[in-house]
A and B are shown apart, each in its own frame.
Chain A
Amino acid sequence: MRLRKGPPDFILFITTLLLVGIGLIMVFSSSAVTSNIRYDDAYLFFRKQLQWAVIGLICMLVVMKLNYLRIKDLAIPLMIFTLLCLVLVVTPLGIEAKGATRSLGVGFLQFTPSELAKLAMAMFLARVMEVNLDRMRSFTQGILPILVLIALVCGLIMLQPDLGTSFAIAGTAFFMMMAAGARGSHLGLIALSGAGVVAAAIAVAPYRMERFIAFLNPWKFPTDEGFQTIQSLYALGSGGLFGMGLGRSRQKFFYLPEQHTDFIFAILGEELGFLGAFLVISLFLLFAWRGFRIALNAPDTFGSLLATGLTTMIVFQAAINIAVVSGALPVTGITLPFISYGGSSLLFTLIAVGFLLNISRYSTYR
C-alpha cells in the first residue's frame, strides 16, 4: 500500500510542547524547596526532568519519522519485551523505592517497565483488534482473549504493586475495546467486574482502604489518611483566580507530599490560580481533540485504534489525576502526563505522541 505523506499535526505538536514546558517550570517550582533542603540542590529534579524531556522529544521526532507501515511489526516484539521486563522487575533485579519495586536498570539508565507497558499494550491491542475486528462483538472470540491479556499485564504490575498504572492500562484497554466495536452489554459487564476487582484490591490492602475512607471524608482524618487530600485542597483553594504567583506556593513547603509528582497540579493551581489550571485542562482537551481527530482520519484501522489508545491513555490519566487532586476521586497514584516529575513517564508519553504525529502524517483528511 502506498500512502500519501503529509505534514504532522501541528496543533498536537504545539500542545505537547506547551504541556512539556509548563511541566518543566512546575517541576522546578514545586521541587526546588524540598530538593534544596533534602539534597542541597534546588535544581536536582528540574535537571533530571529536563534531560528526560530532551531525550523524550528526540525520541518523539524519531518515532514520528518511522515508516508507518513498519510500526505494526513492532507491536509483538515490544509486547514480549515488556512482559519480560515486567517479570524481571518483580525479581530481585527490581529497584525498590517507597515500598514498591517499579524500576529496572543501573544509575542514570533506569526505567519503569510499567510505563513502557502502557505504550506496548496500546500497540499490541490495536494490532490484535485490527485482526479480530469482525469478532469484537463476540465475547469468547473477541473480548475474552483481550481480557486475559489485560489480566496478565495488570496482574504482573500489581505484583510491584502499582494499582494506578494497572488502572490506567485497564482503562485504556477498555476504551480501545469500546472503539473497536465491542457490545455495550459486554462493556457494561466488564466495567462492573472491573469495579469489583478495584473494590477487592481496595479491600485487600489496608493502605488503599484508608485512602478510600479518607476520600469519603478527608476532614475527619486531617493528620493521617486525609492529609494529602486536605493539603491539596488547601493549595488549590489558596490559588483563587490568578494564583499566588509563580514560585510562591506555600503548600510546597513540606505541607503537600508528592508535590512535584502526583500532586503537581495542586501547586500549579496555587501558583497560577484558576487561569493556570484552566489552561492546562484546556490543553488536555485540545490534545484529546487532535488525538481523536488523528484516530478518525487514520489511514487504516490499526492506526485508528492505536491513535485512539494512545490519546485515551494520556487524557484518561490526566482526568484521573486532576480529579484526585481536586478531591473528586480517592488517591490513586496516577501522575499527570507531561507535567508530573518522572523520567520514564515523560519519555514514553512523548514516544506515544511521536506515534500520534506519525499517524497524523498519513491522515486521509486534508
Chain B
Amino acid sequence: MQTTNLQVRKRIATLFFLFTIVFLLLGTRIFWVQFVRGAELSEKALQNRMRDIPVEAKRGIIYDRNGQELAISISADSVYAIPAEVVSSEEARAIAAKLAAILDGDENNLYDRITRNSSFEWVKRQIQPEQAQQIKEADLPGIGLTEESRRFYPKNTLASHILGISGVDNTGLEGVDFYYNDLVGGTKGRIVVEHDAANRPIPEATHKYIPPVDGANLVLTIDETIQYITERELDKVFKERQAKSAAAIVMDPDTGEILALTSRPTYDPNNYQEYPAQNRRNYAINDAFEPGSTMKIATAAMAMEEKIVGPFSQFYCPGHIKVGKETIRCSGGTAHGNQTFAEIVEKSCNVGFVQVGLDLGLEKYYKYLHAFGFGKTTGIDLPGEAEGIIVPESRAMQIDLATMSFGQANAVTAMQLMAAVGAVANEGQLMQPHLVQQVIDKDGQVIKKYEPKTVRQVVSADTARELCSILEGEVTNGTGKNAYMPGYRAAGKTGTAQKIAPTGGYMANEYVASFIGFAPADDPRLVCIVVVDAPQGYPYYGGWVAAPVFKAIMEDSLRYLDVPQREEIDSTSPPTPEKVQVLVPDVVNLPLAEALSTIKERGLSAKVTGEGNIVWQQTPKAKTKIDLNSEVIIYLSPFEQNGENTEVTIPDLQGKSMKEVAKILADLGLHLLPEGFGLAYEQTPAAGKVVTSGSNIRVKFQPVGE
C-alpha cells in the first residue's frame, strides 16, 4: 500500500542518486590524495616533522708549497639544547644556573635560550675542553655536546689575507677558505629525528644519521719562507712610513704561481674579531690605484713590439709637452733634454712617454692594454678581486692616451700590474696568477691539480727580452737605484702617483709609491711588486719608499732559493782573466779628441753620435763597471750644430726653482744636469766661470726647509 505522494517519492530517489554520486566523487578524491599524491605528501609530511642536529665536517688543512701547515682544523665541543626536553624536565631554571656557572654566561640569557620554542638551540659553540668535561659530568636533561671543528692558524698573522677566515659554523668567509669552500669545507652531517609540532621527539620516531664528509686539503703555491720575508719587509715600511695600506706580491713569472702575497694593515685570523674589519681588506687585489710610472713598462712594451721605438731612438724633452689644450710636465718640471728611449725609461720621463703613447695611437694602445689584462680580473683564486678602472675606449681622447701612457687616468690592482710585468719577464707570455697548486685528500692522494695557465702571448719574446735589459738599466742608472742589488741583476720600474681625491682631481699630499721588478734580469726567477699607499714623510717617491723593500725581499728570497749570484768585481777579488771589467771614465764636457783618447786608454772603444767638438753625454755613465773592450757611446752637443760655439759666463743660480734654472741655462745654450728637487743650492762649475756653450751645468736642488 502506497500512502505517500508519488512526487515526493521521485524526489527522494533523486536525492539518493545525488548523494551516491557525491560519495563516489569523495571516494575518488580520497583515492587521489592517498595514492596519486601519497608518496609526495608523506615525504613532505616527514620533512615537516624532522628536526636536524648538525654534525660538522672537519675543514681541510691548508699547506704551503713545501707542506708547512698554514691553517688546520681542531676539534672543539659545542653545547646544544633541545628546549622541549629542558622544559619537560621542569628544571629549566636550575639547568640555566648550572650552565651559567660552567660556561661563565648570563643565567637569564641562557634560560631564555634553552626554553625557546624551537627544536634545537646552540647554547655555546666551541667551548674549552674543561668546560666540556664539566658539562658531560653535570648530565643535564635536554643539554648535549656535539663535536665541531674550528680553524686554527698556527702562524697567526702570516698569510692572513690569503688564508682568510672561517666562521663559527665552519664555513669559509674570506680568502682561499672561502674561494675553495666547496672543496675544503666538506659536507655537513646530520642527525635527523622526527619530532612533534612542539619539538618533542615522537615515540617510534624515524631516526637518521648522515655522517659528515671531511674537507679536502689545499696545497698553496705560497712559500712560507718567502711569505715571511715579504711580510717582514713590508711591515717595516708600513710602520716606518705610517702608510694607510700597503701590499707586496712575489710571483714566479714562468708559472704564475704566487709565492708570497700580503697586505697591510693585517690581522690574526685566530681572533679576527679583535681587529677592525678593514684590516681584512686585501689591498693587493681588492683595491685599484693609479699606477703612475710603473705603467710605463706596459707602454714601453707596446711601443717596442710595434717597432715605434728601439732602445736608441732619440727623444727630446723640454720639460713639458702640449696635448690639445693641456700641458703635461715631467715631474718637478725637469727638462730631460735629448735622450734615448732607454734613458726616458731610466729617467721616467713623462714627456717622452707621452710622445711614445701618441705615436702608438688609441686603437693599438687599447689593444695591448686589454692584452696585458688591465680592466679585467686576473682570475686569481681569491674572492673580491677588483677589475680596476680604465677609461672607456669609446670616450678616450688624445689627452687620455697621453696621460695613460705614463700611468695616469687608469686604475689597476697590484695583482694586475704584477701579472702584466710578469709577462715581460716571461718572454711576453701572460700567465694567470694562482694561489693553489693542488688539492689532496687526507692520504695525500692528489684530487685536483692546477697547472700553470698561459693566458696569451702579449708581446714577442724578443721585445720582452729587450725591455728587460732596458729595465735593468733603470735599476742600475735610473730612478730605481735603490733596488740595486750587488749580487743579482735586477730590473724594474718605480712609480709615484698622486692619489685621486674622492671629490675628483688629485690630492696635494697623498701619493702611492710603488716598485715593480724582477730578477735576475737575464733569466727572471721572481717578479715582485711593492705598493705603499700614502706614506708619510719625505721623500714619498717609489724609488725611495718601495724600491728598498723590493730589494730586501728579492735579495733574501733569491738567496733562499739558491739562485746563483753574478760574479762581482771589486778591489778584494782578483779579476778573472777572460772577463776583465773596467770603470768607465768621465768624458762629459771634454773636447772630442781628448775624450776618445781617454776612452782608449781604459781599453774601451768609442762610438760617436751627433756632431760637434764637445762631449755632451755618454753611455754608460762614468764609474760604471763594464767589460774590457766594450763600447762607450759619446753624444755630441746639438747646440754646436749651429756653429754658435761661443763662450758664456755661468750665472748664479742659487735659490731658483728648477723651472727657472732650466730656462736660464737653455737661453745661454747650456745643459742642465739636475740633482734632487726643490730650489738650487749648489752648482758646478761655480757662478762666474766661463764655459763654452753646450756645456753641462750640474745643479743640486733641495726642497725648501730642509
Contacts and interface: CB of A to CB of B under 8 A. Distances in A.
Contacts of A237: 33-34, 37-42, 44-45
B35 A234 contact: no
A269 B34 contact: yes
B30 A274 contact: yes
A205 B4 CA distance: 44
A255 B33 contact: no
Interface residues of A, number: 54
A299 B30 contact: no
A308 B197 CA distance: 43
Interface string B8-30: 11011111100110110011011
B8 A180 contact: yes
A319 B22 CA distance: 7
Nearest to A179: B11
A236 B5 contact: no
Contacts of A241: 34-35
B572 interface: no
Interface string A228-248: 000001111111110000001
B344 to A, nearest CB: 71
Contacts of A123: none
A323 B29 contact: yes
Nearest to A300: B3
Contacts of A33: 196
B253 to A, nearest CB: 59
A288 interface: yes
A240 B42 contact: yes
Interface stretch (A91-99, A194-202, A277-285, A348-356): A277-285
B208 to A, nearest CB: 15
B20 A288 contact: yes
Given A253-B202, A322-B30, A298 B4 contact: yes
Given A241-B34, A315-B19, A292 B12 contact: yes
Pick the most buried of A37, A239, A253, A304: most chain B CB atoms within 10 A of its CB.
A253
A254 B198 CA distance: 7
Contacts of B576: none
Nearest to A182: B11
Contacts of A179: 8, 11-12, 15
Contacts of B26: 281, 319, 322-323, 326, 328
B7 interface: yes
A61 B3 CA distance: 26
Contacts of A333: none
A250 B19 CA distance: 32
A17 interface: no
Contacts of B45: 234-235, 237-238, 250-251, 255
A255 B11 CA distance: 43
Given A304-B8, A322-B30, A364 B198 contact: no
Contacts of B20: 285, 288
Contacts of B593: none
Nearest to A4: B1
A233 B19 contact: no
Contacts of B48: 234, 255
Interface residues of B, number: 45
B503 interface: no
Interface in B25-63: 26-27, 29-31, 33-35, 37-42, 44-46, 48-49
Nearest to B196: A253
Interface string A254-275: 1100000000000001000110
A250 B202 contact: yes
Nearest to A295: B12
B194 interface: yes
A32 to B, nearest CB: 11
A15 interface: no
A237 B9 CA distance: 40
B505 to A, nearest CB: 55
Interface in A305-342: 305, 308, 312, 315-316, 319, 322-323, 326-328
A301 interface: yes
B42 A234 contact: yes
Contact of B196 (A178, A254, A364): A254
A296 B12 contact: yes
Contacts of A254: 196-198
B2 interface: yes
A196 B1 CA distance: 43
Contact of B30 (A178, A250, A277, A288): A277
A139 interface: no
A181 interface: yes
Nearest to A293: B16
21 contacts: A179-B15, A181-B7, A233-B37, A234-B48, A236-B30, A237-B40, A238-B45, A238-B46, A240-B35, A241-B34, A241-B35, A248-B204, A254-B198, A255-B48, A269-B34, A274-B31, A277-B34, A278-B31, A288-B23, A327-B33, A364-B2
